[in-house]
Structure 1
Amino acid sequence: MEHRPRYNQPFTLSEAIVLDVSTLSEEITRLQYSIKRLRETQEALKGLIDEAVSPETADAEIVQAFKENQDVIGSQEERILILKLALADKGIRTGSHYDVDTDTSKVVKAPPHDPNAEEHDDPGSIVEDDSGGFHL
């Protein structure tokens, strides 16, 4: 099985294939969440761009951020494809559960952070960090 990525990826298909099913599945879930958040941001940026008198008068930094987010979304969607191919190589049939959901209305917003609340790690919660996922 071979896959030629359009975007630079942190791993190849052959590297993904050696990972266990739970790692592949967790990374797909993390990427799906990231894509949902990016699409929410894109909606906000698009609104700001549309408010401009003309495309030429839109804030250049906002337009640049919108374009960069499009590339990140494309890259992450491609990464999900690679991970799904790795699951398929292991005999795991990937159904709609692993598809990227474009409906941002289902995204649950995190409650505002209460600085006075006691900090703890909830094993049932997903904590996203800036590490960009796993690195091989």
Structure 2
Amino acid sequence: MEYTPRYTQPFTLSEAKLLDLETITTEIARLQNSLQRLGETQDMLRAHAASVQPGEEVDPEITKAIEENETVIGSQSERISMLKMALLDKGIVAGSHYDLAPPVVAAPAAASPTEDGGVDL
């Protein structure tokens, strides 16, 4: 599958597919945390911009920060999508925890007791 990102990314989808599972899930969690913080910052910046009195101008630095954050939010959201595609390529379907399905673990085979009451492993 070929994927062309809208934003400049530090890796391609093909490179993401080469990453190990732990690296992918850790990066998704890091990016999700960053997006949460950026969202909170955006809310504060927008509230500040909205509080400007009629006739006053919004500080251009505030406006610039809001615009730059929007770009970063878009880029990081796209990166998460790419990492999820890499997980899907590995056979892992999105779920709830870090937006990942928990791994399916087979139940261990029952140990059989020995004549002396111990357990053979």
TM range (shorter): 0.7 to 0.9
Q: Name the stretch that deviates more: 89-98 or 22-31.
A: 89-98
In percent, how many aligned pairs have the same letter?
Answer: 57
Deviations 1:10-50 (A, max 9, x none): 00000000000110000000000000000010011001100
Q: Tell me the distance in 2 between the aligned counterparts of 1:4 and 1:96.
A: 26
Q: Is residue 75 of structure 2 the alignment partner of residue 75 of structure 1?
A: yes
Instruction: Decide whether aligned partners of structure 1 residues 56 and 85 sit closer, same or farther in structure 2, where only a CA change above 3 A counts.
Output: farther
Q: What TM-score, normalized by structure 1, do the two folds share?
A: 0.69
Q: Is residue 87 of structure 2 the alignment partner of residue 87 of structure 1?
A: yes
Q: Please state whether the residue corresponding to 1:57 is helix, strand or coil.
A: coil
Q: What TM-score, normalized by structure 2, do the two folds share?
A: 0.77
Give the number of the structure whose alpha-carbon radius of gyration is greater.
2
Q: CA deviation at 1:74?
A: 0.5
Read off the aligned partner of 1:26 and give its amino acid letter.
T
Q: Which residue of 1 aligns with 2:21?
A: 21
Q: Is the 8 A contact 1:49 1:55 kept in 2?
A: no
Read off the aligned partner of 2:80 and give its amino acid letter.
I
Q: Tell me the distance in 1 between the aligned counterparts of 2:44 and 2:73.
A: 15
Root-mean-square deviation over aligned CA pairs: 1.6
Read off the aligned partner of 2:35 and give its amino acid letter.
I
Q: CA deviation at 1:2?
A: 1.6
Q: Is the 8 A contact 1:3 1:13 kept in 2?
A: yes
Instruction: Decide whether aligned partners of structure 1 residues 63 and 21 sit closer, same or farther in structure 2, where only a CA change above 3 A counts.
Output: same
Q: Which residues in structure 2 correspond to 1:1-136 (within 5 Å)?
A: 1-53=1-53, 57-99=57-99
Q: Which residue of 2 aligns with 1:122?
A: none
Q: Tell me the distance in 2 between the aligned counterparts of 1:57 and 1:46.
A: 14
Aligned residue pair count: 99
Higher RCO (CA < 8 A, seq sep 6+) = 1
Q: CA deviation at 1:94?
A: 1.2
